[in-house]
Structure 1
Amino acid sequence: MERHEIEAFLTLAEELHFRRTSERLGLAQGRVSQTIKKLERRIGVPLFERTSRRVALTPVGQQLREDLLPVRQQLQRAVDRAVAMGRGITGVLHVGYSSPMVAEILLKAIETFRSRYPDCEIEIHEVQISDPLGRIRSGQLHLQVSEGPLDEPDLTLGPVLLSEQRMLMVPTGHPFARRASVSLEDLAESTLLAFAGPVPQSWLDHHFPRQTPRGRPVPHGHPSTYWTEVLNLVGRGKGVSPACEGAQRYYARPDVAWVPFGDAPPVEYRFLWPTSGETARVRAFVETVCEVTGVPRL
C-alpha cells in the first residue's frame, strides 16, 4: 500500500464520512472514493459498508485499521526524524533553570520533545542565582530560563515561561509576618539579604534595591552565594529577602513566613540564549515548551 492510500483509508475509518474525510485530506471527495474502491479491489473484499445514511467498517476493514495504525505512526516517526536531522535537531541540548518550578515545567515538555526529535537529547542543569549568566556565556548551556529583567547585548530574550507573584520572606517573629501584605517602602525597615557574585547590576537593583521608590535607603546584610544560605539567614532572624510565590511549595519551613508584596511587579522567568548560538535545536525546544504549556511564542 502507498502512503496516500493508508492515509485515505485510516482517515475515512476515523471519520466514517466521505465529505469530512476529503476536507481533512484536502482532496476532492471523488478522489477519496476512487482511492478506497481501488484499495478494495486489490484486497478483494469491501472495507466499508456504504448506505445513503451511514458509512461503517466491515470486519475486514476493522482488522485492517488495527494493523495499519502502528504502520502510520512508524511512518510519521520516520518522516519526523528525517526532518529533524535535516534541520540539525540532533545531539544534546543543555538547558539551564534557576527555580524548581521551571524545572518541573521543562521535565514535562521534554517527553513531548523526545517523541518528536528522538535524535536530540535534553539535559537540564540548575543555575546558581549568584552567577546567573556564567554557564550560558561559557558555552556549557545552550538555553536557559531565568528570572528577569535581563538586558544583555550578547543574549536573545525569548518568551516569558512563568510569571509568579513576588513575596517577601521574613522570620516568623518579624512584625511583617503578621501582615496581609508588604510594600516596597517597607524594605527600608528591615535588612535585605542579597547575593554575591557576577550578577548584572540592573538585575540586583531590581530584586534587591538600595533604596525604596520614595528614595529611602534600604539596609543590606552580608550577601550570600546560595539560595539555602539566604533561607537559613532569614530563619535565624538576620534579615528578609524577596522570592516568588511558587517557591514556597519547595522551601517552606517553620521559621520563615512568606508575605506577598502589594505593589511589586511579578517575578518573570524568561527563556534566553546566546544570540550567536540560536540554532534549530534551541528554537524547536522553545516552541515545544510553549506549545505544551500554552505560552504564546514571541
Structure 2
Amino acid sequence: MDRVRVLERHELEAFLVLAEELHFGRTAERLRLSQARVSQTISRLERRIGAPLFERTSRRVALTPLGVQLRDDLEPLHREMGEAVARAVAAARGVAGVLRVGFLGAGAGELTSAVLDAFRTANPGCEIQMRETHFADPLGPLRAGEVDVLVTRLPVREPDLTVGPVVLSEPRVLAVPARHRFARRQQVSLEDLARETVFGVTGPAPDYWWDFHVPRFTPSGRPVRRGQDVATFQELLALVAAGQGVSPVAASVERYYARPDIAFVPFDDAPATDVAVVWRTAGATARVRAFAQAAGEAVAANGGPARF
C-alpha cells in the first residue's frame, strides 16, 4: 500500500506511453523528455512496484506479464481520469451541453469527421446534434438559430457571420446527362457553359454564393443561359438526368450521388470549392469557439484542409 501511495502520475503516463510504443526514443518524443529521463522514470517505477515491467535488449522492448497486467488495469482508469478532467474543464468554460452543427451535403458531413472527433475528445461533456442544410438556403438555419455552427461551402460574405477554418477543399466537375456530347470528354472549361443551360435556385441563397457555384457569365463574359429553378439537390440531379440542363458540382457528388444516367466531367479551369466553419458573430458561445478551435487543430494536424 505504501508503494502504491507514492506512485506519481508522470510515472504512470511514462509507463503507458512506453507500453504502447515499446520504444524509448518515440516515448521520449511524445512526452517531450530525454530518453535518459524516460529510462530513469521507468526504472524508478519498477523499483516501487517491486518487479520488472519491461524486458529490454539492445534490439527490442517488450512488456513482461506483470507489465501487461498493469497496462490493462491502468489504461481504463487513466482514460476515465482524463475524461473527468476534460468534463470539468468543459463545464468551467461553459462548453458542456448541446452543440447543434449544420452541414451542407453528404461529402461535407463525412469529410469533417476528424473535426467532430477532435471536438468530442476535447469536450466529452458536450453532445453534438447534426442537421443537414440545403443549397437553396445554406445560411437560413444558422440565421434562424436552428443550428449554432455551420459547416458549409464558401463563399460566405455576410457582415453578421464569421468564417472560420477551411476544413475541405475539392475540385469541381460538370454534371451532364449520360448521353450528352460532353460525357466522353476528359475535361471541360467554364467557357463551355455558354453553350449549355444551367439551373437557377428557388430560395434565399445569396446571389454571390449561387453565382460562384453556377456562374452567370463565362470568364470571357459570355452569358450562361438559366433554365428551371430548383429547390433541392435531388431535384437538380433529376433534371440533369432528364436532359434539361447541366450543372457544375463538387467532385464529391460523384461518390455520394452517383447514378447511371449522369456523367461527371472534370473542369480544367474552375476554382476549387471550399468548405469552412461558419457561425453567427453575436452567437459565438464557448461551445462554438471550442468547435472552431477543434476545427483549426484538426486542419493543422492534417497539414491543411482535407482534399477530395
Class of the TM-score when normalised by the shorter of the 2 chains: 0.7 to 0.9
Q: What is the distance in 2 between the residues matched to 1:47 and 1:236?
A: 72
After the TM superposition, which residues 101-140 of structure 1 pair with which residues of structure 2 at under 5 Å, given as runs? 101-107=107-113, 109-140=115-146
More deviation, 133-142/112-121: 112-121
After the TM superposition, which residues 1-298 of structure 1 pair with which residues of structure 2 at under 5 Å, given as runs? 1=4, 5-12=8-15, 14=18, 24=31, 40=47, 45-46=50-51, 63-107=69-113, 109-292=115-298, 294=302, 296=304
Q: What is the distance in 2 between the residues matched to 1:262 and 1:55?
A: 53
Task: Give the secondary structure class of the aligned counterpart of 2:100.
Answer: strand
Residue 8 of structure 1 aligns to which amino acid in structure 2? E
CA deviation string 1:254-275 (max 9, x = no partner)? 2222111111101111111111
CA deviation string 1:233-292 (max 9, x = no partner)? 111111111101111112222222211111110111111111112233223223434545
How many residue pairs match? The answer is 294
By how many angstroms is 1:110 displaced? Answer: 3.3
By how many angstroms is 1:97 displaced? Answer: 1.0
Closer, same or farther: CA 217–22 of 1 in aligned 2, 3 Å: closer
CA deviation string 1:114-155 (max 9, x = no partner)? 344222111111111001111101111111111111111111
By how many angstroms is 1:163 displaced? Answer: 1.2
TM-score by length of 1: 0.83
By how many angstroms is 1:49 displaced? Answer: 8.6
CA deviation string 1:68-113 (max 9, x = no partner)? 3332222212111111111111111111111111111234543453
Residue 72 of structure 1 aligns to which amino acid in structure 2? H
Q: In 1, are the aligned partners of 2:178 and 2:263 still within 8 Å (CA)?
A: yes
Residue 100 of structure 2 aligns to which amino acid in structure 1? H
By how many angstroms is 1:60 displaced? Answer: 5.4
User: What runs of 5+ residues in structure 1 fail to find an aligned partner?
Assistant: none
User: As a proportion of its length, which structure holds more strand?
Assistant: 2
By how many angstroms is 1:23 displaced? Answer: 9.7
Task: Give the secondary structure class of the aligned counterpart of 1:177.
Answer: coil
User: What runs of 5+ residues in structure 2 fail to find an aligned partner?
Assistant: none
Closer, same or farther: CA 56–160 of 1 in aligned 2, 3 Å: closer
Closer, same or farther: CA 116–34 of 1 in aligned 2, 3 Å: closer
Bigger-Rg structure (1/2):
1
Closer, same or farther: CA 216–52 of 1 in aligned 2, 3 Å: closer
Question: RMSD of the TM alignment (CA)?
Answer: 3.5
More deviation, 53-62/169-178: 53-62
CA deviation string 1:151-202 (max 9, x = no partner)? 1111111121111111111122222223222111111111111212111111
Task: Give the secondary structure class of the aligned counterpart of 2:278.
Answer: strand
Q: What is the distance in 1 between the residues matched to 2:80 and 2:104?
A: 37
Q: What is the distance in 2 between the residues matched to 1:56 and 1:249?
A: 44
Task: Give the secondary structure class of the aligned counterpart of 1:202.
Answer: helix
